[in-house]
Structure 1
């Protein structure tokens, strides 16, 4: 009876707040603001061409195939082990890279909150503490952390509202840092700006993580679509509002991809240190914990599930004897993220946050590419399966819903990881991302090949199980 009650703790309100916590990423607001005024066009354009089809497809797949594996399960059912393995690898490896990018960001924001400058040794200890606190919390079920998810969602909304309202106040009393003209609101095709558009896609992804909470929901087949639709509308509104505030405060060319949100509050208030700035900085740091905790619960489950199916190394299949949580995946998150930030202390690149964040983006977006064709194929090979939520439309409409997001993802990856010019600044900024992406793609192929060899059925002429 107690177990049943525990599962009913995750109500629709919790699900909606979890969508906000997972999908709304406060630290991504600054890179998006670096696009300039044309960001408003890209927000609206990508809401229609990416968020809408992705939300519909995620709702159908999440309620139809509601196992532990999420998008890994969908791709594996449609295209088999190899593509399932690739999806699980890309989906997992993005997380420790993302965690490393936030770990690098943490001391910078903490120094603003405390009004002191932190040395290299202190910063590294803080970064490691950030990583391993998240690892420890992810050892426990989602219902034990639901207050963290809800709290982080509320904090993110507060951050966005404060920046937005300060932006309105600043615009009325002091003018705007970026002039608003019809021309400036039109889409910009500047290569630097286009590389940041991928962050908008990143901001729209994550709905399927809510599907991994299905076992803890009262009525997942109803709550998941509701949470995605309502959460998506709220997220779109608060993103645009916070983006306006940053755009009022900081000229586009001067936006810091790491501390832009806090910088905007400093400029809008006219103070580098104050109680408000300290409070907002601390809330921002707490939101980073919320991001990582909400994502770890989904990412670790997918990696563990894939490992149990032989599509990821066995270490990821290790679970806790007490609560069956995927502790192997959690520990690997901590190890990889720790190694990355330790190596980072020897790198000359000053914008480490964007370098790690961009690398995370490449891997993360790559994990979603096979999801859209999988949606189409599962409709063909599994037509009789009950679909509690079914995307309506004829074959042409369904194909467009799947193809459009794929085109946008591929384009975004190219702008992030492929040097499109050969000047020194571009090469210094892009080549590390290109090389890092290639390394992680190669590692993934090696792991897939090895797991395939280990799962060969000797009585089935070498066919992989």
Structure 2
């Protein structure tokens, strides 16, 4: 078995540079589907984001950076768990970790992609909906199984798309504010509450996970002991800016009674009279 593993590892090629890992992490950490949900709870969303950045995001990034540099081997979290608790626990951990991906890709991500396509391009019937979903899911699967030499460009393109989109949104808010003025943030709404904790913390924690993903390919990085902490630091700071900028922008231009009053803003930015719209 060891001979087989050594043979397989000898075929690995170091094709991930520092910038590749930074873009990989940005594509992983920055999601567009939860920004509206956080902003819909008003300024309190910013407070919880800062709190979780300190008590969760920062130590989580430091932990992964330490493990990624201390054990720069292919497999990342599986290897770390195996070294600490054995193969059985590592296998269970990896299965549970993996299960979230088909649920996310085949669920919310496919629904968002389908809704976007039907809204801006062509409406689809029942058959077309299933065909689109299957093509989208299998395209994602093929992107994952492709060699990193080729597949690394997919998260790089995703990261650049996020930077351009959220950057354009932030600039648009600045232009709008210069022309029409901005509303001040109510300090009273910055105070964290239990209701805000229940509604916001799952969103924000979901946004703040993903640092460990590139460590599964540590032996395919150039100088992993420097690349891992370099990428985690820069992607972490960039993620906070890419999340915080649009959320602050929404709070500055959308009236408070719309954002957190009876007419809530859904995660997709569409006004709704349903007060639970921000949680759907």
One fold, TM greater than 0.5?
A: yes
Give the aligned partner of residue 118 of structure 2: 111
Task: Using the TM superposition, give the Cα deviation of residue 172 of structure 1 relative to its aligned residue in structure 2, in angstroms.
Answer: 4.0
Task: Using the TM superposition, give the Cα deviation of residue 66 of structure 1 relative to its aligned residue in structure 2, in angstroms.
Answer: 2.7
Contact 2:74 2:219 in 1 (8 A): no
Task: Using the TM superposition, give the Cα deviation of residue 54 of structure 1 relative to its aligned residue in structure 2, in angstroms.
Answer: 0.6
Q: Structure 1, residues 115-134: CA drift from partner, whole Å, max 9, x if none? A: x5433332222112110111
**Residues 1:187 and 2:187 aligned together:** no
Give the aligned partner of residue 139 of structure 2: 133
Are residues 175 and 184 of structure 1, via their aligned partners in 2, closer, same or farther at CA, if it must alter by over 3 Å?
Answer: farther
> How far, CA to CA, are the matches of 1:7 and 1:139 in structure 2?
15
Give the aligned partner of residue 265 of structure 2: 255
Give the aligned partner of residue 219 of structure 1: 223
> How far, CA to CA, are the matches of 2:226 and 2:138 in structure 1?
35
Are residues 207 and 77 of structure 1, via their aligned partners in 2, closer, same or farther at CA, if it must alter by over 3 Å?
Answer: same
Contact 2:117 2:123 in 1 (8 A): no
Task: Using the TM superposition, give the Cα deviation of residue 82 of structure 1 relative to its aligned residue in structure 2, in angstroms.
Answer: 4.2
Contact 2:77 2:216 in 1 (8 A): no
Give the aligned partner of residue 171 of structure 2: 165
Task: Using the TM superposition, give the Cα deviation of residue 27 of structure 1 relative to its aligned residue in structure 2, in angstroms.
Answer: 2.1
* Residue 239 of structure 1, aligned match among 226, 232, 243: 243
> How far, CA to CA, are the matches of 1:251 and 1:124 in structure 2?
35
Structure with bigger gyration radius? 1
* Residue 89 of structure 1, aligned match among 95, 103, 122: 95
> How far, CA to CA, are the matches of 1:12 and 1:238 in structure 2?
20
**Residues 1:200 and 2:204 aligned together:** yes
Give the aligned partner of residue 27 of structure 2: 21
Give the aligned partner of residue 234 of structure 2: 230
2:73 alignment partner, SS class: coil
> How far, CA to CA, are the matches of 1:185 and 1:153 in structure 2?
30
Mapping of residues 410-429 of structure 1, within 5 Å: none
User: TM-score, normalised on structure 2?
Assistant: 0.82
> How far, CA to CA, are the matches of 1:112 and 1:179 in structure 2?
33
User: TM-score, normalised on structure 1?
Assistant: 0.51
Task: Using the TM superposition, give the Cα deviation of residue 136 of structure 1 relative to its aligned residue in structure 2, in angstroms.
Answer: 2.0
> How far, CA to CA, are the matches of 1:53 and 1:170 in structure 2?
37
Give the aligned partner of residue 70 of structure 1: 76
> How far, CA to CA, are the matches of 2:93 and 2:227 in structure 1?
26
Contact 1:42 1:187 in 2 (8 A): yes
Give the aligned partner of residue 5 of structure 2: none
Contact 1:32 1:197 in 2 (8 A): no
Mapping of residues 376-395 of structure 1, within 5 Å: none
1:213 alignment partner, SS class: helix
> How far, CA to CA, are the matches of 2:203 and 2:97 in structure 1?
16
Contact 2:74 2:216 in 1 (8 A): yes
Q: Structure 1, residues 271-322: CA drift from partner, whole Å, max 9, x if none? A: xxxxxxxxxxxxxxxxxxxxxxxxxxxxxxxxxxxxxxxxxxxxxxxxxxxx
> How far, CA to CA, are the matches of 2:200 and 2:135 in structure 1?
29
1:69 alignment partner, SS class: coil
Are residues 142 and 161 of structure 1, via their aligned partners in 2, closer, same or farther at CA, if it must alter by over 3 Å?
Answer: same
> How far, CA to CA, are the matches of 1:204 and 1:117 in structure 2?
34
> How far, CA to CA, are the matches of 2:40 and 2:96 in structure 1?
26
* Residue 213 of structure 2, aligned match among 196, 209, 217: 209
Contact 2:39 2:45 in 1 (8 A): yes
> How far, CA to CA, are the matches of 1:189 and 1:173 in structure 2?
37
2:164 alignment partner, SS class: helix
Q: Structure 1, residues 355-391: CA drift from partner, whole Å, max 9, x if none? A: 7xxxxxxxxxxxxxxxxxxxxxxxxxxxxxxxxxxxx
Are residues 75 and 34 of structure 1, via their aligned partners in 2, closer, same or farther at CA, if it must alter by over 3 Å?
Answer: farther
Contact 1:32 1:196 in 2 (8 A): yes
Report how many aligned residue pairs link the two structures. Answer: 258
> How far, CA to CA, are the matches of 1:54 and 1:196 in structure 2?
19
Task: Using the TM superposition, give the Cα deviation of residue 99 of structure 1 relative to its aligned residue in structure 2, in angstroms.
Answer: 0.2
Contact 2:46 2:190 in 1 (8 A): yes
Q: Structure 1, residues 388-420: CA drift from partner, whole Å, max 9, x if none? A: xxxxxxxxxxxxxxxxxxxxxxxxxxxxxxxxx
